[in-house]
Amino acid sequence: MKDYIRRSVKFIVYIVIIFVVFLVIIPLFVEGKPATESFRKMLGDQRFIIMMALLFAYGLVYPLIAFTKIQRHLNSSFAENREVFVKAFESLNYIKESETKDKLVYRKKSHFTRFTQWYEDRIVIKTGDNPVTMSGMRKPLTRLDKSIDFLLSKSTE
């Protein structure tokens, strides 16, 4: 729940920053209009209020859409397939952030990529039992799962 709230707040802040740049700063430099004048006009327009409400609602739903968990079934233990996971993460430019007895945490190497993803690029692997549970952003997690699948099938050949 804590992750959900943090991610929602980050996304809503991101939307607010975009609105401030495009609706306050750019008109100030291009047209020379003060921000208060253009902001009063926007608040008087019902379409703007509806759009802001929809974007706020989307900000609340976004973490449910963008983040997921995948269960990866292995034919043996995680310890025996650890190298496959390490190779998959290395091929996708991830580095290990932390490791405990039953959990691994990886993040992107690139600081720019981490910044553009608002530092929500972590992939957590719970290695306690089979199936292994991986959680993180949907698109990179799906890529990682396909990479692991490919490496596992390649190692059995």
Domain of 94, CATH number, reads 3.30.310.80
Q: Would you state the pLDDT for residue 94?
A: 95
Same-domain pairing of 54 and 98: no
Q: Would you state the pLDDT for residue 157?
A: 66
Same-domain pairing of 40 and 98: no
Last residue of a domain, one of 45, 65, 85: 65
Task: Give the sheet arrangement for strand 123-126, strand by strand.
Answer: 67-72, 132-137, 123-126, 103-108, 94-99
Residue-range definition of the domain harbouring residue 53: 2-65
Residue 95 in this model has a pLDDT that exceeds 90: yes
Mean pLDDT of the chain, nearest integer: 87
What global pTM score does this model have?
0.77
80-93 burial: b if 16+ Cβ within 10 Å, else e: ebeebbeebbeeee
Same-domain pairing of 115 and 40: no
- What is the distance between the alpha carbons of residues 49 and 52, in angstroms, rounded to a whole number? 5
Same-domain pairing of 44 and 82: no
Same-domain pairing of 141 and 96: yes
Going by pLDDT thresholds of 50, 70 and 90, the confidence category of residue 90 is very high
Summarize the chain as % helix, strand, coil (round to 5). 65, 20, 20
Q: Please tell me the total count of domains within the chain.
A: 2
| Count of all residues that appear for the chain in the document | 157
- What is the distance between the alpha carbons of residues 63 and 3, in angstroms, rounded to a whole number? 9
Residue 88 in this model has a pLDDT that exceeds 90: yes
Same-domain pairing of 81 and 151: yes
Q: Would you state the pLDDT for residue 144?
A: 93
Q: What is the pLDDT of residues 18-63, one digit of tens each?
A: 887 877 777 777 777 776 766 777 778 888 889 889 988 988 998 9
